[in-house]
Amino acid sequence: MLRTTLGRAAPLLAAALLLSACGASETTPPAPETGAATVSTEPTGGAPDDAEGTSGPAAAGTLELAAEVQPDGTVLVDGEQASFLMPSTNMVCVLRPGSVVCQIHEKNFTPRQADLAPDAGEGCSRETADGLVIRDGEAARWTCLPEDLRGWSSVDTGGGWVRPGTGSTREVGGTAHAVLPYDTVLRLDDVACESRRDGVECSDLSTGRSFHLAREGYRTG
């Protein structure tokens, strides 16, 4: 079993992201540079460049985060939060017990109006929605997220589950981020996501709610 530490503020931020919508007046911090990304297997680096001004792992106190590979290859995380980048870096997902959100940065489609969350917030539209969320046992819905979640996939925050044998890292803007390799499943509690070459597939195993998200389209179940 592999163990590391995670700042207490990270789960609180993730909870807020999962339960709130993005208003038109909110400002999204700049995304990390992706042009100079390199793959590494040794997690290193400090806080994400885009985490400045938000609550983060520098807050007092830590909690334990553990991960182990199951016989079927699933990476099982024991903790309050686990986050990862897709290998393309175009999507990032945050898992918490009973909920999961994936943010997509470039998409070649517009979500259906019926799939926009009722509480998405003023100013959040089909065109601006960037997060697909499962929570409270409900079907997946689109919302607008208040910040770029890629900062929370750093190995110092929600990406702290990664180690050789459980995933890989990608250096973005001088910071190592957890990457879930293709054909790998990450599970936390009853929520799981599978990284696939045709997108990411996430589900709440306790309710059967699920979604598939890719640059070219999505589907919910």
Cβ–Cβ < 8 Å for 186, 203:
no
Neighbours of 105 (CB within 10 A): 16
Cα–Cα distance, 88 to 197 (Å, whole number): 9
Give the per-residue pLDDT at 189.
96
Cβ-proximal residues to 33 (8 Å cutoff; 6+ apart), any chain: 49, 172, 173
Calculate what percentage of the chain has a pLDDT beyond 90.
Answer: 63
Q: What is the pLDDT of residues 75-130, one digit of tens each?
A: 999 999 999 999 999 999 999 999 999 999 999 999 999 999 999 988 999 999 99
- Please state, rounded to an integer, the average pLDDT across all residues of the chain: 77
Taking residue 108's Cβ as centre, other Cβ atoms within 10 Å add up to 8
Name the pLDDT band for 65 (thresholds 50, 70, 90): low
Over residues 131-173, the pLDDT tens digits come to 999 999 999 999 999 999 998 999 989 999 998 888 999 998 8
* pLDDT tens column, 177-208: 999 999 999 999 999 999 999 999 999 999 99
Whether this model's pTM surpasses 0.85? no
What phi, psi does 107 have (nearest 5°)?
Answer: -135, 145
pLDDT tens digits for range 26-42: 323 333 333 222 222 22
Alpha-carbon distance 76 to 57, whole Å?
22
Please report, for the chain, how many H helices and E strands are present, in that order: 1, 16
* 64 has a pLDDT exceeding 90: no
How far apart, in whole angstroms, are the C-alpha atoms of residue 48 and residue 28? 14
Query: Closest Cα partner for 102 from 14, 12, 10, 216?
Result: 14
pLDDT at 45 > cutoff 60: no
- The ranges assigned to domains in the chain are 2-22+37-51+67-220
Number of C-beta neighbours around residue 109 at 10 A: 12
